[in-house]
Structure 1
Amino acid sequence: MAKGVNSAAEQAEQLKQDGNHYFKKNRFAAAIDAYTEAITLCPNVPVYWTNRALCHRKRNEWGRVEEDSLRAVRLDPKSVKGHYMLGLALLQKEIYAEGIRALERALDLGRGAHPNSYMVEEIWQELASAKCKEWVHDSAKRTLDLQKLEKACEIALEEKFVHDLSRKMDTDGVGYSTSEQLAALKLIFSKAAEDDKPTDIPDYLCCKITLDIFRDPVITPSGLTYERAIILEHLEKVGKFDPITREPLHPSQLVPNLAIKEAVGAYLEKHGWAYKLD
């Protein structure tokens, strides 16, 4: 019995390798067939499902991407690719909140496993794009709602002005009071719209190397904060020293800067335009 199980597992692994070969050749239908056979033999291996989901993604078969990704994350809740593809599929269906949550989960898992891998950067790009689209949608709605409310308030003040004129002889006083109220009203609505107007991101929320807003900030013993992937790349390719202070620095000395990460999260929550990518 054990021999039969091992044989099935070996066959499934060979089919996965075949699928990978077909995928690299852009033969996605053949790759899907190979992964499907592997799944038939060993249905509890998450990578077979995520590999097939990737093929479906290439063919824009988003319903099947969602199905395979869901199966993968049920088998392995820590599957980076599973959560990533699920997020992409949900976003295609314009289910933004759930799609963004799936991408955020994939990003957290990816950072924990391979913080400077290409996939972490790819996930961030997709997440930032989704967040920005969500902000554009919500911002447009907020702007329209504010405009409608401002107009309603102006009409109400004008009606009050007419009503007061009919009851008072001091028309100059009434007109001056209404003018002041209208000016105050415009100021209030102008301030209410400020959060949706792009401005410069505060320097303390940006990496000193990339000059971009932090995604995964880490702090060094010298007290400087860098983007994790960028400082790790520097330590690996340039040398084991702090790029600014030039003091010796080892990857093990990097500590997540939770205060800055929380500040970035709060800032992005309030200023969604800051997710916009150049």
Structure 2
Amino acid sequence: MSFELKEKGNQLFKEADYVGAEEMFSQAIQKNPKEPTFFTNRAVTRLRLEKWSGAEQDARIAIQLNGGPKAAASLKSSLYLAQALLELQRPQAAYDVAIDGYRASLNTKNAQSENLSKIVLRAKQQIWAAKETARLREMNDTLASVEKLIEADLEKELRELRAQLDNGEIGEIGFNEDQKARREEAAKRIQHVRDAFKSASGGEIQERVVPDYLVDNITFEVMHDPVMTVSGHSFDRIGIMKYLEHAAADPVTRAPMTVKDLRPNYSLKAACEDFLDKNGWAVDY
């Protein structure tokens, strides 16, 4: 009976009826709380409903039931857990979960490798952004004061939203939508402030950013000697060679591949060299 409920949930999920799907998976869990796929399916459904805390909880239970984060069956749940943690503004925790899952997926040639690598990069970008915020505020006390005022206003608004949710004045979906909108508005205000300080300082005070296309999807560092696979994806030579030593497959498509199949990407190498020449700080990215 519990698996019939799961199938009904899967069908509702395909039809984009996420509220109905969540209910079916919840009923399946009540009948059989030891089946990890029920929690995995409810976790992804809750991600669609933007119920981040619920998705985190379900993903953690699924990982535990599957035998831990290193188990192959846990990789999909690790992906969902990392996504939830990112949305909950916990990038370091998301990075730790995603990078462990990514490494495990490479070792087992799992289909989740590419998705996990994207989450690792997003988490690393958020961690870097936090470091940049601290650096910029150390450079200018006025900038720090203005940005902290914006953040204080945001925290006040979020507390008010939470109170409305707790009092039943708004639903969880509405709460998540309003919370996201408030965060985006605060981010825009901070960016406007930084643009003004950048202009006033002649470009001295500005956030440092590494373009995605310069970052290797195995080491997640800026590439120095990029090479291209048969599928057209570029990686840093050292990272992909180490990977091929034990995997002998394309990290993205998982098609059989050897070192002999790699080709230099001269245009990307020139772009990486130019960026590093002008941005020595990127070595610490």
The answer to whether the aligner puts 1:100 opposite 2:100 as a matched pair is no
Q: Which residue of 1 aligns with 2:75?
A: 80
Q: Match for 1:120: what amino acid? A: S
Q: Which residue of 2 aligns with 1:217?
A: 240
Q: How many angstroms does 1:108 deviate by? A: 2.3
Stretches of structure 1 that go unaligned for 5 or more consecutive residues are 1-10, 149-192, 246-267, 273-278
CA distance in 2, matches of 1:102, 1:220: 20
The answer to whether the aligner puts 1:203 opposite 2:198 as a matched pair is no
Q: How many angstroms does 1:46 deviate by? A: 1.0
The answer to whether the aligner puts 1:233 opposite 2:255 as a matched pair is yes
**What is the correspondence of 1:10-25 to structure 2 with a 5 Å cutoff?**
11-25=1-15
CA distance in 1, matches of 2:259, 2:84: 42
Q: Which residue of 2 aligns with 1:169?
A: none
Structure 2 residue corresponding to 1:142, chosen from 126, 135, 139: 135
Q: How many angstroms does 1:140 deviate by? A: 3.1
Q: Which residue of 2 aligns with 1:251?
A: none
CA distance in 2, matches of 1:38, 1:215: 47
Q: Which residue of 1 aligns with 2:147?
A: none
Q: Contact (CA 8 Å) 1:214, 1:227: kept in 2 or not?
A: no
Q: Contact (CA 8 Å) 1:87, 1:103: kept in 2 or not?
A: yes
Q: Match for 1:57: what amino acid? A: L
Q: How many angstroms does 1:109 deviate by? A: 2.8
Q: Contact (CA 8 Å) 2:106, 2:251: kept in 1 or not?
A: no
Q: Which residue of 2 aligns with 1:265?
A: none
CA distance in 2, matches of 1:63, 1:220: 35
Structure 2 residue corresponding to 1:131, chosen from 124, 139, 142: 124
TM-score in terms of structure 2 length: 0.54
Show CA shifts across 1:14-34 (max 9, x none). 222221111111111221122
Q: Match for 1:50: what amino acid? A: T
Q: Which residue of 2 aligns with 1:111?
A: 106
Q: How many angstroms does 1:49 deviate by? A: 0.1
Q: Contact (CA 8 Å) 2:82, 2:98: kept in 1 or not?
A: yes
CA distance in 1, matches of 2:134, 2:52: 28
Show CA shifts across 1:155-192 (max 9, x none). xxxxxxxxxxxxxxxxxxxxxxxxxxxxxxxxxxxxxx
Q: How many angstroms does 1:215 deviate by? A: 10
Show CA shifts across 1:195-229 (max 9, x none). x675974533x3333334479624599x9x99842
Q: Contact (CA 8 Å) 1:217, 1:227: kept in 2 or not?
A: no
Query: Matched residue pairs, number?
Result: 186
CA distance in 2, matches of 1:214, 1:18: 47
**Percent of pairs with identical residues:** 17
Q: Contact (CA 8 Å) 1:216, 1:228: kept in 2 or not?
A: no
SS at match of 2:255: helix
CA distance in 1, matches of 2:11, 2:58: 20
CA distance 1:137–1:214, shift in 2 (3 Å)? farther
Q: How many angstroms does 1:83 deviate by? A: 1.8
CA distance 1:108–1:230, shift in 2 (3 Å)? closer
The answer to whether the aligner puts 1:271 opposite 2:261 as a matched pair is no
CA distance 1:17–1:88, shift in 2 (3 Å)? same
Q: Match for 1:54: what amino acid? A: V
TM-score in terms of structure 1 length: 0.56
Structure 2 residue corresponding to 1:63, chosen from 43, 53, 57: 53
CA distance 1:96–1:202, shift in 2 (3 Å)? closer
Q: How many angstroms does 1:110 deviate by? A: 2.3
Stretches of structure 2 that go unaligned for 5 or more consecutive residues are 142-204, 215-221, 264-280
CA distance 1:126–1:111, shift in 2 (3 Å)? same
Q: Contact (CA 8 Å) 1:218, 1:226: kept in 2 or not?
A: no
Q: CA RMSD in A?
A: 3.7
Q: Contact (CA 8 Å) 2:82, 2:119: kept in 1 or not?
A: no
Q: Which residue of 2 aligns with 1:187?
A: none
Q: How many angstroms does 1:113 deviate by? A: 3.1
Show CA shifts across 1:71-95 (max 9, x none). 1122121311222222222222212
